Structure 1
Amino acid sequence: MTQSAITDHARRRRASIVTTAQDLAVRHGYSGFTIEDLAEAVGCSRRTLFNHVSSKEEAVLGALPHLDEEHVAVLRSGGPTGDLVEDLVTTIVESLGGSAPTVADWQRMKDVCQRNPELLMRVQEHVEELVTQLIGHLSERRGVDDARARIALALAGAVVQTTVHDLIENPSTAGQETDLAEQVHDNLEIARELLTPGG
């Protein structure tokens, strides 16, 4: 088996673990199943499970946004486009997994958080940490002060959040395999129009 095939197999296995853990968390609640239950539902050993996730929480919240060092470095240096809000939108979309998550993935995560408020709090804490990190990274860009960084991040975050909400609430119009980046950039254009005089 080639290295890329091994990596692809590991990615698919992890995705299967996350999906199964989320389904269990929706049906039984976060405290209503064990790691052993999850391993049995996935069809692997506990040991194999821990090769892909480090904890039950990570299994359920495996799709939490994260900042990739390469994207952060580009953002800090003034890229990828030189437009602050556009660059933030691109970075946020990448932190969410790019266009990999489907509408079903977003819906399942919403269901997990609604069924398990303690996990919603964890997601909110994680997002707040990311916001703090992003503001710190933005301060490295030339000409970006704290106020500019916060407003740009608020605008970019609102556009991404609205797009994800629309995908979840209107799955029939979005389709199951929607390109999140494309939808976000369409909504960013609407935001730009609204912010122009007479918009």
Structure 2
Amino acid sequence: MVVGDGRLLRSWDTNIGGLNWEAVLDTGSFQAACFVAIQDTVKHVAVLKKAAISLHYLSNGHQKWVENLPDSDAVQYQAVYSGGEEEVYVLGVVPNSHLTIIAYSLEDGEITKQSSVEAPWLSSVESSCVVVGQGVLMCVDPATLALYTLPMQAEETPQFSQTLLQVLYLSTTATTLSFSDDARYV
């Protein structure tokens, strides 16, 4: 758990409610955190700040590596994801322009892949998108009533696929998706 306005990373023993360890994080604006598993075993936690990403050991909170995020003055980094492979992904957006995806090696924090995907309809990853399955980014655009999917771990340059919500018998509100009353099931 990250607390103290993004300054402290803590691990709690869920059986007794006691504090296992506490680590002080570098200053910066906390954005997100995620557990990082390797072969179905959680061993690390990735912490995303406004201009940097760090990887910490789950066993003791010690920092394994920290890396500055490229173009953090222009790109708004908002999400971090790990799919159990050897990489951790950082998602950033230049509002109403494009999505930036950066893959970092779990071993040493080096950038292994970086791509930019056109997304003129996207203004915020954290309010419009969620990662599902094995690294598929799913976003909704209320203005066009469309669902966009993007395989983040694609070998080639990824591109969003668009599906209109009415084709799926779905409608959208400001914060939720709901099934249409006239949806027909066969």
- The TM-score range, normalised by the shorter chain, is under 0.3
Where is the helix percentage greater, Structure 1 or Structure 2? 1
| TM-score normalised by L of structure 1 | 0.26
| TM-score normalised by L of structure 2 | 0.27
Where is the strand percentage greater, Structure 1 or Structure 2? 2
